Each structure stands twice: as C-alpha cells, then as structure tokens.
Amino acid sequence: MTLLVTGGAGFIGANFVLDWLSVHDEPIVNLDKLTYAGNLDNLTEVQGDARHVFVHGDMGDRALVRRLLERHRPRAVLNFAAESHVDRSIHGPEDFIQTNVVGTFRLLEEVRAYWSTLPQDERASFRFLHVSTDEVYGTLAPQEPAFAESDPYEPNSPYSASKAASDHLVRAWHHTYGLPTLTTHCSNNYGPYHFPEKLIPLMIVHALQGKPLPVYGDGQQVRDWLYVRDHCRALQRVLAAGRPGQTYNIGGGQEKTNLDVVQTLCALLDELAPAPQRGVVDARTGRPIQRYAELITHVPDRPGHDRRYAIDARKIERELGWRPAETFDTGIRKTVQWYLAHPQWVQRCQSGAYRDWLARQYGASMA
C-alpha cells in the first residue's frame, strides 16, 4: 500500500507528507519538480526514512509518471503540485497554465491508464485526490454567505482561473471515464514551511529584519485562515471516507482582514522577540524601532484583488466528522514560534532569485 504525492516538497504538500508519516506506516512516493517554492529542506524530518521515496520530476512528464505508477502501484494519487501565487500569476500567467492545466491533464491521463489496468477491487478502492483553492469561487461581498461546494466558479486571477480549469478536468475525468476522483477547496493556509513570499511568513521575516511590512491597499481584504496541519488532517479524512466524484470545502472558520493579520503578527513578535532586545532598526531610516507595527507600509493594491473569501465547511463536518483543531490565535502563535526557531530555513529560502522577486513586486526599497 503506497501513496503517490505530487508537489510534496511545497508548503502544503510537505506538511501533508510529514503529518502522514508521523501517524501512518504506509509509504509515500513524493514527486516534485523543485521549482522556487519546492524545497527539500521542508522534508529534513524524513530524510533517510525508508517510507519516503523522493523523485525529482514534473507531474507533466508522462513517461516518468507512468514508470512511477507501474513500479510503486499506489492505491491513491494526491495532487498538490501547482503554481499558487496570485502575484506571480499576474506577472507571468503562462507558467500557471502549463503546470496547473496542462500538467494536471497529463497526470490525469496517466493515472486513468494505470487505474484501468487494476483488478476490480483495486479499481474500486483507488482514489485521485485533487487539492484546489477557494479562489476558484471568486470574491464575496461583506454580508454574503460563505462559499459552498455548489457555488458557481467565478475566478478573477490567472492563478484561480488555472485552478478552476484543473478542477473542471478532474470532474470531467470522473464523469466521463469513471476515475474515482475527490476535489478539495481550502481557504488560506498558514504554518511551518510556508515560502516567504506569502503574507504571513513575509511579514514575520521582514519585521525581524526591520524591513517595511507591505500591505496592499487599505488592508481590508478578508480571508478565512486555516492552519496547515488542520488541512492535512482534513485531507486524510477525505482520502479515507470521501465519496468519489464529490467536492469538499476545507476552511478554518477564521475570517480576518489582511491588516488585522499583520497587526496580530506584530503584537506576537513584540511579545516573543521584542525589537529593542534584538536591536532591530528601521531599514529605511536606520533608527531603532520599539514596536514592529511601526514598519507597516501601505502599497498600491494589486490588479483584480478579491475583497473577501470565506469557506462553508459544513459538508465535510457533516459527512466526514472533520473540524479544525486550531483557532487563528493558537495557530498563528505556533507559526510565529516556528519561524523564530528556524532562522536557517528562512535564510536558505532567501536566494538571489527570491530577493529579485520581492524587489520587482514591492519596489527596490522592500527587498
């Protein structure tokens, strides 16, 4: 019994691998292309573990996927592999189409061919779990109800459009070919091993370095926040008991504005890593700071920025008995503590290419 995981060196994928192997003996074959956000440092806990087989490669490489399926005979495939950063999709959408749409198509075709050769009982128990995002639903007004699984797709960025397309492919491969698929839509994840271009790790890293904390527009964009280990446990439940062909929303039930999140991070850092004790100075002025909130800087909003996402997760609770274990307050404290305890991981993430990206996105003064 084996799982094949694509994108298992990225943020959510790596956390799933670590969480799975902490409670299961079933091996994982981990296929990852190791693009900018795929990081083998995320998997140091399982280095040398015979239950974890890492393969450097692209899920769109059909010959490679075919060999892995034939060799390891997995009972399920979990697809985490994706280009996932909205800002990057605005600057360079083609990579998102190639990975999220073409790559998913090629993976589906190889999995379908493999699945069709399985004995009847193995075909019946096989699962293809596709990990998607709440962003495919578009944006919500302040008083609108949270996204439900039956809501229409209204993607507003190249990233969300590419994920919506991949979702439609997964649905079609189930209805046309009978492939036993499962699709999940998660809200904004946070936690350990989050690449430092996303909001929460970016703010933590910049604050400790005395750099500006860039907040888009008025900072009143609302997101539902989900601790990544809660997401991983939800995926385990979906894999174990989800009904083929179904979609499950996975949310934390913790709506916060971006500005609230940044202010919460600043307050936690004031408590856990006080700026005066660390000798943090404002990188723009060279003056010592007393509180990290002094670094908050509003920058022009990004094009097509969705104002609110929220997830209605009642279906997965009702059918599969899953609920998040962490509140935002407990999860964000664990996250800040993790980043404070792992400065070397952050330093290794900050390659020259990463710094170039920050400069291009937020301006040279932010890098």
| Average pLDDT of span 74-99 | 91
Q: Comparing C-alpha atoms, which of 180, 306, 203 is closest to residue 259?
A: 203
Cite the beta strand spans of 28-149 per DSSP E.
Answer: 28-32, 52-56, 76-79, 127-133
Amino acid occupying residue 197: E
CB 27 within 8 A of CB 51: yes
Is residue 295 one of the residues assigned to a domain? no
Has 144 been annotated as catalytic?
no
pLDDT at 269 over 50: yes
Instruction: Give the CB-side neighbour count of residue 239, counting CA atoms within 13 A.
Output: 21
Q: Look-up: residue for tokens 């799975």? A: 20
Domain total in the chain: 1
pLDDT digits (tens, 9 = 90+) for 120-153: 999 999 999 999 999 999 999 999 999 999 999 9
Does 271 fall in a domain?
Answer: no
Which residue is catalytic, options 58, 83, 137, 159?
A: 159
* Phi/psi of residue 327, nearest 5 degrees: -85, 170
Angle between helices 199-208 and 328-341 (to 10 degrees): 50
What pLDDT is stored for residue 85 in this prediction?
Answer: 74
Burial tier of 175 (Cβ tally within 10 Å: 0-12, 13-18, 19+): exposed
How far is 284 from 329, CA to CA, in rounded Å? Answer: 31
What is the Cα–Cα distance from 217 to 10, expressed in whole angstroms?
Answer: 28
In a domain, 276, yes or no: no
0.85 surpassed by pTM: yes
Per the annotation, the verdict on 135 as an active-site residue is yes
What does pLDDT average to over the chain? 94
Query: Which structural domain, as residue segments, surrounds residue 130?
Result: 3-194+226-253+308-325
Reference 182, options 191, 171, 193; nearest CA is 171
Give the active site residue among 19, 134, 255, 294: 134
Average pLDDT for 76-99 = 90
Residue 260 lies in a domain: no
In a domain, 147, yes or no: yes
Closest by CA to 160, choosing from 31, 61, 304, is 304
Q: What are phi and psi of 178, to 5 degrees?
A: 85, 5
95 noted as active-site residue? no
- For the stretch 270-297, pLDDT in tens is 999 999 999 999 999 999 999 999 999 9
Q: Given the DSSP bridges, would you call strands 127-133 and 76-79 parallel, antiparallel or unpaired?
A: parallel
Give the model's confidence band at 197: pLDDT under 50 very low, under 70 low, under 90 confident, else very high: confident
Helix (H, G, I), strand (E, B) or coil at 104: helix
Any domain includes 111: yes
* DSSP three-state, residue 309: coil
* 275 inside domain: no
Structure confidence by residue, pLDDT tens digits, 238-263: 999 999 999 999 999 999 999 999 99
What is the rounded distance in angstroms from the CA atom of residue 136 to the CA atom of residue 294?
Answer: 35
What is the structure's pLDDT at 367?
41
Q: What angle do CA 253, 258, 10 make, to 5 degrees?
A: 75
Question: In CATH, what number is assigned to the domain containing residue 18?
Answer: 3.40.50.720
Alpha-carbon gap, residue 267 to 199, rounded angstroms = 16
Cα–Cα distance measured from residue 228 to residue 225, given in angstroms and rounded to the nearest whole number: 9
Is there a domain that residue 333 lies in? Answer: no
Binned at pLDDT 50, 70 and 90, residue 46 comes out as: very high
Burial class (CB in 10 A: 0-12, 13-18, 19+), 334: middle
